Amino acid sequence: DARVTQTPRHKVTEMGQEVTMRCQPILGHNTVFWYRQTMMQGLELLAYFRNRAPLDDSGMPKDRFSAEMPDATLATLKIQPSEPRDSAVYFCASGLAKDRLVATNEKLFFGSGTQLSVL
Amino acid sequence: SQQGEEDPQALSIQEGENATMNCSYKTSINNLQWYRQNSGRGLVHLILIRSNEREKHSGRLRVTLDTSKKSSSLLITASRAADTASYFCATDGVRRGSTLGRLYFGRGTQLTVWP
């Protein structure tokens, strides 16, 4: 079965360190989403790509977070420098959007997430 | 916020009973989706209902959509202990000032089904 692959599954790091999370979307999907999940905020949309172009990263703290898609098989989310408040589960999801007005025409496939702990 | 909001936050029932969860949202939508999340896992898609649809079924799941009230409900019939999970609605809404859709999730309903 096709699936979204996220690495690493778990990451423990110290405050100030750089963290890079990777996502391999499903082949043929043209949209990639990054979400962050915490108990307090729920699922927050951080960034959204279509055809590898960033469309919306307004949910992301720009001073420390960056998201890229160097190619169609890889999406990355970087935090530099990391802070304890960044501790959360980060999910990547991919989907297929056929219309400009629609985020996704079909269901999203989620990865298993990266559990990040910043000490 | 455009986020859908689920209600109730938590629901506890016995096996065999039906579980109903509701979702309310604020803006016009292209579609609304329901997802399930088991503890420590990623979200899994359950059902998608488009803005021009009113009801959809999938196995023991029934979803309704009322765009006039900006609300949706998810009904799980004959629940099982394995249905224990968090359930989220996600709205594919049009952001004001932009032609591009976004997909926003609510905080979820934690469903516990007791054997």
pLDDT digits (tens, 9 = 90+) for A80-118: 999 999 999 999 999 988 776 566 667 889 999 999 999
Disruptive mutation site among A32, A94, A102, A106 for chain B (greatest number of B CBs within 10 Å): A102
Disruptive mutation site among B92, B96, B98 for chain A (greatest number of A CBs within 10 Å): B92
Q: Quick check: B48 and A107 CB within 8 A?
A: yes
Report the share of chain B in percent with pLDDT over 70: 90
B61 or B104: which leads in pLDDT: B61
Of the candidate ranges A97-101, B76-80, B81-85, the one whose mean pLDDT is the lowest: A97-101
pLDDT at B98 over 70: no
Rg of chain A over Cα atoms, rounded to whole angstroms, equals 14
Q: Quick check: A55 and B100 CB within 8 A?
A: yes
- Angle CA B103–B83–A7, to nearest 5: 50
Quote the pLDDT of residue B103: 80
Quote the pLDDT of residue B99: 44
Give the mean model confidence (pLDDT) for residues A53-70.
88
Mention every residue, 6+ apart, whose C-beta is less than 8 A from residue A38: A44, A87, A88, A89
Q: What do you get for the CA distance between the two ends of chain B, in Å? A: 37
Residue in chain B lying closest to A5 (CA): B42
Please name the residues between 60 and 99 in chain A that touch chain B, using a CB distance below 8 Å: 91, 93, 97, 99
Query: And the tokens for A68?
Result: 């890229």
B5 or A25: which leads in pLDDT: A25
A7 or B105: which leads in pLDDT: A7
Picking from A16, A17, A11, the residue whose alpha carbon sits closest to that of residue A90 is: A11
Q: How many CA atoms lie within 13 A of B29 on its CB side?
A: 33
Q: Quick check: A43 and B88 CB within 8 A?
A: yes
Query: And the tokens for B87?
Result: 């359930």
Q: How many contacts (CB atoms, under 8 Å) link A and B?
A: 68
pLDDT digits (tens, 9 = 90+) for A18-34: 999 999 999 999 899 99
Pairing of strands B71-76, B61-66: antiparallel
Query: Confidence band (pLDDT; 50, 70, 90) for B94?
Result: low
Evaluate the CA torsion angle B102, B34, A106, A73 in order and state its sign.
positive
Quote the pLDDT of residue B92: 80
Quote the pLDDT of residue B106: 87
Task: Give φ, ψ of B32 to 5 degrees.
Answer: -130, 140
A103 or A41: which leads in pLDDT: A41
Q: Which runs of E-coded beta strand occur in chain A? A: 5-7, 10-13, 19-24, 31-38, 42-50, 53-56, 65-71, 74-79, 88-95, 109-110, 114-118
If you search the block for the tokens 């979204």, which residue do you land on? A4
Please name the residues between 12 and 51 in chain A that touch chain B, using a CB distance below 8 Å: 33, 35, 42-43, 45, 48, 50
Query: And the tokens for A92?
Result: 């990547």
Indicate the burial class of A39 (C-beta count within 10 angstroms; 0-12, 13-18, 19 or more): exposed
Average of per-residue pLDDT values in chain B:
89
pLDDT digits (tens, 9 = 90+) for B25-41: 988 888 899 999 999 88
Quote the pLDDT of residue B43: 94
User: Contact, A59 vs A44, CB < 8 A?
Assistant: yes
Please name the residues between 72 and 101 in chain B that touch chain A, using a CB distance below 8 Å: 88, 90, 92, 94-95, 99-101
Quote the pLDDT of residue B1: 46
- Angle CA A60–A65–A66, to nearest 5: 100
A2 or A87: which leads in pLDDT: A87
Average of per-residue pLDDT values in chain A:
91
Distance CA(B47)–CA(B72), nearest Å, equals 12
Q: Quick check: A101 and B108 CB within 8 A?
A: no
